[in-house]
Amino acid sequence: MPDQRTVNRQCTLCEAHCGIQVTTEGQRVTFIEGDPADVMSRGYICPKATALAGLHHDPDRLRTPMRRNGDTFEPITWDAAFAEIGQRLRATRKQHGPSSIAMYLGNPAAHSPSVMYGLLLRAALLTRNFYSASSVDQFPQEFAAWRMFGSSFLMPVADIDRTQRLVILGANPAVSNGSVTTMPNAKKRIRDVRRRGGKVVVIDPRRTETARIADEHVAIDPGGDPYLLLAMLHVLNEEKLVDSEVVERNLSGWDELCRLTSEVTPEFAAARCGVDAEVIRRLAREHAAASSAVVYARIGVCQHTTGTITHWLVNVINAVTGNVDRPGGQMYTTPPVDAMRWLRWLPIPYGNWTDRSGTRKAFRFELPVSGLAQDIINEGPGRIRAMITYAGNPVLSTPQRGKLAEALTSLDFYVAVDMYVTETTRHADIILPPVSPLEREEFDVLFPIFSVRNNARYNARVFDTPDEGLEDWEILARLVTEVTPLPLRRFTGELLNGVFSRVSPLRIAAVGVALGPHGLLRRGTRGITIKKIKDTPGGIDLGPLQPRLAKLIRTKDRRVQLAPPDLIAEARHVVNAPSPRSTKFDLRLIGRRHLRSNNSWLHNVPTMVKGRDRCTVLMHPADAATRNLTAGQRVDVTSPVGTITVPVEVSSDIVRGTVAIPHGWGHHEGATWSVAAQHPGANVNLLHDPEVGDTFTGNGGLNSTSVHIEAAAKIVT
C-alpha cells in the first residue's frame, strides 16, 4: 500500500494510557495494535483501544459547532459560536452574578492535558458552582490523603510491581486496568505478584475477573469494609503485630486509634461485613507478616457513605505495618512533571461554601455534583442560570433523581464542549466539538503521577488537525477570553487570545519537564526533554517508585496522621449505628464495569456493543429463585427514589442479598446516537438517591443503595 503509515501513540480512553500503533491508509485507520516498545504496557491493549478507530470515523461524531434551532441543531462557524456564547454568558453573569454560571468537568477531560485550560476557565468564571466527575469518583480518597498527609494531591499509589502481598478492596483492575494506581495490563502485573511467590487477595461482594486470578476471594457485604478494616487494626494492636519502630518514628495518633478499635472485635465486625472472624484475623496477621504488603482500594469503597473513613483506614493499615513509602507498599511517584510537589502547597478549602441546601460542602474549590439538578431547578436566590459542560455526560453518570435533563432545559443558556449529542449535551444551546483523539499531539502530565512505575511517554498525531478543527484547549482558551472578567475585555481578550494560541499544553509541559526531577535543570545534559521523549520509541522508563514521603508530607509535625479527630468521631458513629435493615428494599445494589464499555460514551461504536445485552442486573441464583425469576427475564428494580427495567443475569459469583448493575446506560433518553439507541439499556443512576453520599465529601453513595426486585410490570417489545 503506497500511503500506508504506522504512528505510535497512546490510547487515551482510560487512565492506563496503553501504547498503541495505529496503521492508516490515506484517511482511514486500518489497524490498531499494542506497542511492544511501550515502557508501561509492553504491547498490551484491551478491546477498547480499537474503538478509537470507530470513534474517529463515527458519522455521528460532531465535526463543527452546532447551534440549537428548536428541537434540532444546525452547524455554525466557530466565530459566530464564540461571539454568541460570550455575549450570553456575560449577560447572565452581569444580571445574576458569577456563581449563576456553573461548570461540570467530566472524566475524559482528565485524559488530556487540555484540562489545564479547563481549570483556567473554571478560575475565570469565578463561580462557586464548579463540579466534576471527582465527586462520583475519588473525592473520599483525596479527603483521606489531605487529613493524613496534608494535601489532597498526596494520594499514594500501590507499588504493585514489587509487592509480595496485594489486597484489593473494591476495585476490579482486571477490567478497569487500575485507577489512581495506573497499571496497564493489570492482569499480568497481578499474576506476576503470584509468580514471584507473593499472594493476591480480592475483597469484593462479587467474584470478579480480578478475583478469578487471585489466590483468595473474600466475599464481603457491600459497605462492610470499615468494620473489616477496624477489626484488622484491632488484631494488629492486640497481637502486637504493628511495626513499632515506624509507628514511633513517622506516625501520629496510634494510641487514639487503638481506643477506637478496641471495641471492634473480629466477631463484632463479622456480623456487620459478612466475613468470618477467623478470616479477618488471618488477613491482619498475613498483612503484618509479609515482607511487603499493600491494601489497594478504589471506587467500590469510595462510592459509599463511608468512603472517606474507609480510605483512611486502608492507609492506616498500610502505615502501621510499615508499608507506606517503602517498596512494595504505598508509595509516591517521581513523575516527569512533578505537579503534586507544586500543588501540595495549595490550601485546601473545605466547607467555605455549600450548595444551596446548605448540606453539601465545597471541597478543594468544588461542590459535589449530586446537588446540581436541584440548584438549577429550585427557585430563589443563588439559582444556577447557565451551564458549561466539558467532556461529561452527567445526565447518565450522576445521581440526580432523573431531574437533570429537565433542569438543563430550564437554563437561560447552556454550552457543551463535546463531540457527541448525548443525553446531556442534547439540551445545550451550542455544542463545541473538539477534534478526535487521533488528531491531537499531547504529553500527558496527570497519569504519570499515579503510575506504578515512573515514566515519560509522548502522544503523536495520527492525522493532521482538520483546517477548521480545534483541540479542547483551544476551545477552552477562547471561552476564557470570552468570559474573562478583566476590564477592557475586547482589548485584553484579543491580547489573551494571542498569548494562549502560543501557550499550548505541550509547551507548558515542556517547561514542566525541564523543571522536573528528571529534567535538564536538575540533571544537566543527562536530563530528559520533550524532544528526547518524543524521539524515544515506547517512551522513557524512569525506574521504580522511590521513597519520597519525607519531602512531600505537609502535616504540621511532618508525620502521618493516623487519628484525625473528625474521622475518629465519624468512625465511632459508624460503629455504634444500628445495622441498616429494610424489609421493603431487601437487596443491596452495587456497580460493575465491563471490558468493552467505558462509562457512558463508547456505546455508539458497533464493536463495543455487539453480542449480548450488558446492561443487566446480576443476581445470585438463590435470590432469583426466591423471587421466581429466571435468566433473561425483565425485572423492575426499584429503590426509594426510582425504578428501572432491565433483564436478569443469574450467577453465583455475586454474594446473596446483593445485585450489580453497570452505569452509563439509558441511551433512549437521548436517542441521538444511532448505534447506542439500538441497545439503550437503563440508567442505574435513576436508582441512586442524590441525598446519600460520603459523610465528608458528599461523593455519590452509588454502592450504598438498597433495592427491591420483581418481574417487570410492563411487557416491553
Binding site residues, ligand MGD, CB under 6 A: 14, 106-108, 112, 133, 136-137, 169-173, 175-177, 179, 203-206, 208, 220, 222-223, 225, 298-301, 304, 390-394, 397, 417-420, 422, 434, 472, 590-591, 593-595, 597-601, 663-664, 684-685, 702-703
CA angle centred on 460, ends 457 and 463, rounded to 5°: 160
Based on the shown chain and the rule CB under 5 A, indicate whether residue 221 belongs to the binding site for Mo ion: no
CA distance 430 to 413: 9
* DSSP, residue by residue, 552-575: H--STTSSEES--HHHHHHHHHHH
Closest CA to 513 of 335, 332, 333: 335
Based on the shown chain and the rule CB under 5 A, indicate whether residue 418 belongs to the binding site for Mo ion: no
Q: Which partner in ligand SF4, ligand MGD, Mo ion, none is near 45 (CB below 5 to 8 A by kind)? A: ligand SF4
CA distance 559 to 426: 50
Q: Which is nearer to ligand SF4, 135 or 177 (CB)?
A: 177
Give first-to-last CA distance, the chain, whole Å: 48
Q: Which partner in ligand SF4, Mo ion, ligand MGD, none is near 480 (CB below 5 to 8 A by kind)? A: none
Note the Cα 94 to chain centre separation in Å.
Answer: 34
Q: Residue 45 Cβ, how far from ligand SF4 at the closest point, in Å?
A: 4
Closest CA to 231 of 168, 356, 317: 317
From 13-21, 132-140, 549-557, 585-593, span contacting Mo ion (CB under 5 A): 132-140
Based on the shown chain and the rule CB under 6 A, indicate whether residue 16 belongs to the binding site for ligand SF4: yes
CA distance 277 to 328: 27
Nearest residue to Mo ion, using CB?
A: 137
Give the Cβ contact number of residue 557 at 10 Å. Answer: 8
Q: Which is nearer to ligand SF4, 18 or 648 (CB)?
A: 18
- The sign one gets for the Cα dihedral 507, 509, 511, 513 is negative
Q: Residue 179 Cβ, how far from Mo ion at the closest point, in Å?
A: 6
Spell out, one character per residue from 124 to 163, where the chain touches ligand SF4: x when CB under 6 A holds, - when not. ----------------------------------------
Q: Which of 14, 190, 475, 589 binds ligand SF4 (CB under 6 A)?
A: 14
Q: Which is nearer to ligand MGD, 335 or 664 (CB)?
A: 664
From 46-54, 231-239, 411-419, 646-654, span contacting ligand SF4 (CB under 6 A): 46-54
Based on the shown chain and the rule CB under 6 A, indicate whether residue 190 belongs to the binding site for ligand SF4: no
CA distance 164 to 161: 9
Q: Which is nearer to ligand SF4, 19 or 307 (CB)?
A: 19
Based on the shown chain and the rule CB under 6 A, indicate whether residue 593 belongs to the binding site for ligand SF4: no
Q: Which of 22, 45, 183, 337 binds ligand SF4 (CB under 6 A)?
A: 45
Q: Which is nearer to Mo ion, 137 or 423 (CB)?
A: 137
Give kind and range of the element (H or E) at residue 51.
Answer: helix 51-57
Q: Which is nearer to ligand SF4, 176 or 400 (CB)?
A: 176
Q: Which partner in Mo ion, ligand SF4, ligand MGD, none is near 601 (CB below 5 to 8 A by kind)? A: ligand MGD
Bridge pairing between strands 617-619 and 4-10? unpaired
Task: Give, in order, the Cα–Cα distances in Å from 353 to each of 350, 485, 566.
Answer: 8, 21, 19
Task: Give, in order, the Cα–Cα distances in Å from 537 to each of 50, 52, 460, 578.
Answer: 21, 21, 11, 58
DSSP assignment, residue 632?
T
Q: Which partner in ligand SF4, Mo ion, ligand MGD, none is near 703 (CB below 5 to 8 A by kind)? A: ligand MGD
Q: Which is nearer to Mo ion, 127 or 141 (CB)?
A: 141
Based on the shown chain and the rule CB under 5 A, indicate whether residue 137 belongs to the binding site for Mo ion: yes
Q: Which is nearer to ligand SF4, 50 or 504 (CB)?
A: 50
Residues 386-445 that bind ligand SF4 (CB under 6 A): none
Q: Residue 255 Cβ, how far from ligand MGD at the closest point, in Å?
A: 28
Q: Residue 679 Cβ, how far from ligand SF4 at the closest point, in Å?
A: 20
Cite the beta strand spans of 578-691 per DSSP E. 587-590, 617-619, 634-639, 642-650, 658-660
Contact between 363 and 693 under an 8 Å Cβ cutoff? The reply is no
Q: Which partner in ligand MGD, Mo ion, ligand SF4, none is near 206 (CB below 5 to 8 A by kind)? A: ligand MGD
Q: Residue 522 Cβ, how far from ligand MGD at the closest point, in Å?
A: 32
Q: Residue 358 Cβ, how far from ligand MGD at the closest point, in Å?
A: 25
Query: Would you call 277 exposed, middle or buried from its count of C-beta atoms within 10 A (0-12, 13-18, 19+)?
Result: middle
Q: Residue 294 Cβ, how far from Mo ion at the closest point, in Å?
A: 21
Contact between 287 and 165 under an 8 Å Cβ cutoff? The reply is yes
Q: Which is nearer to ligand MGD, 508 or 520 (CB)?
A: 508
Between helices 277-289 and 266-273, what is the axis angle to 10°? 110
Based on the shown chain and the rule CB under 5 A, indicate whether residue 243 belongs to the binding site for Mo ion: no
- Residue 668's identity, in one-letter code, is H
Based on the shown chain and the rule CB under 5 A, indicate whether residue 58 belongs to the binding site for Mo ion: no
Closest CA to 10 of 111, 118, 115: 111
* Count of residues in the chain: 717
Q: Which is nearer to Mo ion, 15 or 623 (CB)?
A: 15
- Residue 481's identity, in one-letter code, is T
Size, binding site for Mo ion by CB under 5 A: 1
- The sign one gets for the Cα dihedral 666, 668, 669, 672 is positive
CA distance 515 to 664: 40
Q: Which is nearer to ligand MGD, 170 or 680 (CB)?
A: 170
Q: Residue 395 Cβ, how far from ligand MGD at the closest point, in Å?
A: 8
Q: Which is nearer to ligand SF4, 14 or 513 (CB)?
A: 14
Based on the shown chain and the rule CB under 6 A, indicate whether residue 177 belongs to the binding site for ligand SF4: yes
Size, binding site for ligand SF4 by CB under 6 A: 12
Based on the shown chain and the rule CB under 5 A, indicate whether residue 15 belongs to the binding site for Mo ion: no
CA distance 697 to 685: 19
Contact between 304 and 223 under an 8 Å Cβ cutoff? The reply is yes
Q: Residue 384 Cβ, how far from ligand SF4 at the closest point, in Å?
A: 33
Closest CA to 51 of 684, 597, 611, 698: 597
Q: Which partner in Mo ion, ligand SF4, ligand MGD, none is near 184 (CB below 5 to 8 A by kind)? A: ligand SF4
CA distance 440 to 49: 16
From 32-40, 135-143, 353-361, 467-475, span contacting Mo ion (CB under 5 A): 135-143
Give kind and range of the element (H or E) at residue 282.
Answer: helix 277-289
Cβ contacts of residue 72 below 8 Å, gap of 6+? Answer: none
CA distance 603 to 594: 12
CA distance 275 to 218: 7
Q: Residue 33 Cβ, how far from ligand SF4 at the closest point, in Å?
A: 10
Q: Which is nearer to ligand MGD, 251 or 419 (CB)?
A: 419
Q: Residue 48 Cβ, how far from ligand SF4 at the closest point, in Å?
A: 4
Q: Which is nearer to Mo ion, 300 or 434 (CB)?
A: 300
Based on the shown chain and the rule CB under 6 A, indicate whether residue 602 belongs to the binding site for ligand SF4: no
Contact between 435 and 462 under an 8 Å Cβ cutoff? The reply is no
Q: Which of 46, 214, 635, 692 binds ligand SF4 (CB under 6 A)?
A: 46
Q: Which positions touch ligand SF4 (CB under 6 A)?
A: 11, 13-14, 16-18, 45-46, 48-49, 177, 184
Binding site for Mo ion (CB under 5 A): 137
